[in-house]
A and B are shown apart, each in its own frame.
Chain A
């Protein structure tokens, strides 16, 4: 398995009280190249789970093994490099760097996670942006792009370092229906083409139904895989 999660708990200490448990997963696994939809209501811990898999948050208990690496045993600096090289992230609110152009936003990700030469990086960034239909928007800043275009830039950024796993946190929630479908198709097709596994969080059951596997947060908490 590419991703294996075992008895994972995330809780936050509270002043003068019991720790607040925000996530509890008994077991979850994903194979390489698999595309899974993770559904559940707001506040069910979907985003927290993605942050834990990306190594942005540290678990309180349990283990996450990704590509053979146990994240709990990995130092922060190494985890940063690992995340840059192997994980792509697509957010609901796009999270593009506001002062950077579309091309630069993709290049920044490659600055931290790519072994390509400078010119090759630029070539790949342009190729990716062309692929998501933004070849004529390379030098536009996020404020000059529509929301759908911004999310397409973020998809290009997520795929820039040829990741093994793409984590997408409600990637269509901020978009209108037409754009949502276009972005969804683009994301799933791009991941398939790149051979990357996709773990997509959504509360949109119709969208989730289009993925090859659907998992509910409730099932994970109760012990499903």
Chain B
């Protein structure tokens, strides 16, 4: 009969106490591990979602807002860039590609993005395949043809050939102001990219402008004005791919020095957002560590609490010939077994919790949050196991020092 088996039988003899202790270790570890997995996964997901967008140029205002509008299809859009500014930018010899991006309408809360076919040529890296690919249908070729993001098609049930009327504004209203005379026809559906673009409806710039001219005409009492049209004709942002790195930096500086627009690198803006998130993440992580610390205390308390009951067991073992080291080893093995089980359940629970939360987040903001693995977490789990086992050291020393004669005659 091995010492490990004897430790196991001792734990089974106190099964409720053992289960509670294992549960506390598992919950503490699961919560902390889930926080670590999610914070790492969210960063990866956001970075991956922003990969194809290059430098974003929009009107002056909050850089965060500009990034949120274009990459995450969230937040209210900044004012439009004038069409003339966009035209100058796209014709600049240093610019290889300037993809327009215009917001203003929605269908059932899904944002309608005015753009041109070059949008579908965006790539994370030059050697990568296009980021957006069709799963069925074709790209829009004329006004009022729409290409749906994967989530839009799934959640609205729209199919190729279906028609829908857009509503004004970027969010769904209780009583939507629909552009009934200009309904869109679905011509294509994109493959899921597990990014917020899955929740976008992509239409040509012509559709966007016609729809908005119509809206502004209605607001102006049906009278259209050339000046107003020029003002309306613009884009919310432009995704700019320069010819070279030097061109990129020059454009970035020029645009930001000017009065009309701002240029942002999504990576930099997201890094700032991560910095802001960092303090929240640190608080969550600290909470996790506190929970873990409490778990460590519970293990120590549980093992110490059972040491009174254990004194007699130790005395019996000593009386039948077990050495002090053997009884100390049995008590230490009890804490090792508790920690192995607690950590195993905690790791499984942590991944399960992270998986559920990552799924929920993907559903809400369409960011694929990978539930991955980091070698640092293994070290962290190992440390938890070691600290928990060390918590068993004091009762083990207590068992080592037990004077058995005193407890043998107790009934």
Contact = CB atoms under 8 A, between A and B. Distances in A.
Contacts of B276: none
A68 interface: no
Contacts of B323: 76-77, 80-81, 112
Nearest to A109: B320
7 contacts: A51-B408, A80-B322, A98-B13, A107-B1, A108-B317, A111-B6, A112-B320
A171 interface: no
Interface in A88-140: 89, 91-93, 95-100, 104, 107-113
Given A107-B1, A111-B1, 10 more contacts: A48-B405, A57-B405, A83-B319, A84-B320, A95-B316, A99-B9, A99-B12, A112-B320, A112-B321, A112-B322
Contact of A97 (B316, B325, B410): B316
Contacts of A113: 320-321
Interface of A: 47-48, 51, 54, 56-57, 76-77, 80-81, 83-85, 89, 91-93, 95-100, 104, 107-113, 157, 161, 169, 174
A47 B409 contact: yes
Given A57-B405, A80-B321, A93-B409, A104 B9 contact: yes
Interface residues of B, number: 27
Contacts of A99: 9-10, 12-14
B404 A56 contact: yes
A174 B411 contact: yes
A54 B319 contact: yes
A83 B323 CA distance: 10
Interface in B308-356: 312-313, 315-326
Q: Which of B317, B323, B325 has the largest number of chain A CB atoms within 10 A?
A: B323
Nearest to A89: B319
Interface string B345-372: 0000000000000000000000000000
Given A56-B408, A57-B405, A104-B9, A97 B321 contact: no
Contact of B319 (A48, A56, A81): A56
B206 to A, nearest CB: 80
B409 A108 contact: no
Contacts of B322: 80, 84, 112
A116 to B, nearest CB: 12
A105 B206 CA distance: 88
Contacts of B325: 77
A54 B404 CA distance: 12
Contacts of B10: 99
Nearest to A81: B321
A125 to B, nearest CB: 10
Interface string B1-32: 10000100110111000000000000000000
Q: Which of B14, B321, B405 has the largest number of chain A CB atoms within 10 A?
A: B321
A77 B324 CA distance: 8
Nearest to A87: B321
B321 A95 contact: no
B411 A93 contact: yes
Contacts of B317: 97, 108, 112
Nearest to A118: B1
Contacts of A56: 318-319, 404-405, 408
Contacts of A51: 405, 408
B6 to A, nearest CB: 7
Nearest to B13: A99
Given A47-B409, A174-B411, A108 B318 contact: no
Contacts of A48: 405
Contacts of B9: 97, 99-100, 104
B234 to A, nearest CB: 79
Contacts of A47: 409
Nearest to B325: A77
A174 B410 CA distance: 12
Nearest to A88: B320
B321 A91 contact: no
A157 B324 CA distance: 20
Given A56-B405, A100-B9, A95 B1 contact: no
Nearest to A169: B409
In the A-B complex, list the 8 residue pairs whose CB atoms are closest, starting with the nearest.
A84-B321, A99-B13, A112-B321, A93-B411, A80-B323, A109-B320, A99-B9, A51-B405
Contacts of B13: 98-99
A203 B321 CA distance: 27
A83 B409 contact: no
Interface in B381-411: 404-405, 408-411
A200 B91 CA distance: 110
A85 B323 CA distance: 13
Contacts of A54: 319
A91 B408 contact: yes
B313 A98 contact: yes
Given A85-B321, A89-B320, A108 B408 contact: no
Given A51-B405, A99-B12, A108 B411 contact: no
Q: Which of A99, A110, A113 has the largest number of chain B CB atoms within 10 A?
A: A99
Nearest to B318: A56
Contacts of A89: 319-320
Contacts of B405: 48, 51, 56-57
A113 B12 CA distance: 25
A49 B246 CA distance: 95
Nearest to A84: B321
A97 B319 contact: no
Contacts of B1: 104, 107-108, 110-111
